[in-house]
Structure 1
Amino acid sequence: MCGSSSFHMIFSVIFMCLLFGGLCEHISVDIINDIGPNVQLGLHCKSKNKDLGSQSLTFHQHYGFRESLNFWGTTLFFCHFQWGNQSKWFDIFVVARDLKTCEGHPCVWSIRPSGPCRLTGKETCFPWNTNQY
């Protein structure tokens, strides 16, 4: 009887992980203001289902978040960035692009005027998204 109970408990945990995906796997994102000295960086990150709110970072200050991945492998977080008269946005976490590189480590992003650079793994810079925010 005890063995059967243990099996059901393990099966239930596995089923919950598969059903709700996010209960078992998370991603961590760390964003650094590298726009320039004395430049305040405003940012607002969200996904389709979750708004992480607005933040304001001084030069070299960090903001991070940890969120669940969905079961379907389509987790996407995007951020809107503002400084001076600039307004840009970028998909800060895309499963297909970032999961393998950032698995087990925070996905660290340096936000620069030319675009965001992912520092995790081999440093890789990306252009800003061009379509409307």
Structure 2
Amino acid sequence: MYGSSAFHFIFSVTFIVFFFGGLCEASRHVNVDIINDIGSNFQLGLYCKSKGKDLGAHYLASHQHWGFQANLNFWETTLFFCHFQWARGSQSKWFDIFNANRDYRLGICQDNPCVWSIRPNGPCRLLKGQEKCFPWNVVI
């Protein structure tokens, strides 16, 4: 009899943690917006994905933008990365376009969208009239 009650208690606690954790996860999301600022007459090709979600390929004309909504996982370790190409494929770079450790945990993209201006030297995050630029990720 004791083993059965312990099982029910553990099962109930596990259910509650996953149920409420799922509700919290569903409400924690960020919006990411990507702008092609490579230069006039340059089309920007981009392909974004995370470990579990493929957002597919997109092509942006100069100053055009595209965005997506990212749901944060329970541990707040969500990561989306994008591969960028321009100048007829001669330029090929990649960047972690959303990194929860960098963009969410510090409160940067919690109440505001993460807006990224993609430039030849690297992406710049735009927030409330300010920008912070980052280098491209290095391929090892």
Q: TM-score range by the shorter chain?
A: 0.7 to 0.9
Give RMSD over aligned pairs. Answer: 1.9
* Secondary structure in structure 1 of the residue aligned to 2:25: coil
CA distance in 2, matches of 1:73, 1:24: 13
Quote the residue 2:46 is aligned against: 43
State how many pairs are aligned.
121
Q: Does 1:129 align with 2:132?
A: no
CA distance in 1, matches of 2:52, 2:18: 23
Task: Go from structure 1 to structure 2 and tell me whether the alpha carbon gap of 1:127 and 1:109 turns closer, same or farther (over 3 Å shift).
Answer: same
* Secondary structure in structure 1 of the residue aligned to 2:27: coil
Once the two structures are aligned, what percentage of the paired residues are identical? 60
Q: Which runs of 5+ in 2 are unaligned?
A: 1-14
Cα distance, 1:20 vs structure 2? 6.0
Of 84, 96, 104, 2:101 maps to 96
Q: Any idea what the Cα deviations from partners look like across 1:47-84, whole Å, max 9, x if unmatched?
A: 00000000000000000001210001110000000001
Task: Go from structure 1 to structure 2 and tell me whether the alpha carbon gap of 1:35 and 1:20 turns closer, same or farther (over 3 Å shift).
Answer: same
Q: Which amino acid aligns with 2:19?
A: M
Quote the residue 1:105 is aligned against: 112
Q: Which amino acid aligns with 1:102?
A: C
* Secondary structure in structure 1 of the residue aligned to 2:52: coil
Please, what TM-score do these two structures have when normalized by structure 2? Answer: 0.80
Which stretch of structure 1 is more off in the superposition, 117-126 or 26-35? 117-126
CA distance in 2, matches of 1:69, 1:21: 9
Of 25, 28, 45, 2:31 maps to 28
Which stretch of structure 1 is more off in the superposition, 61-70 or 116-125? 116-125
Please, what TM-score do these two structures have when normalized by structure 1? Answer: 0.84
* Secondary structure in structure 1 of the residue aligned to 2:103: helix
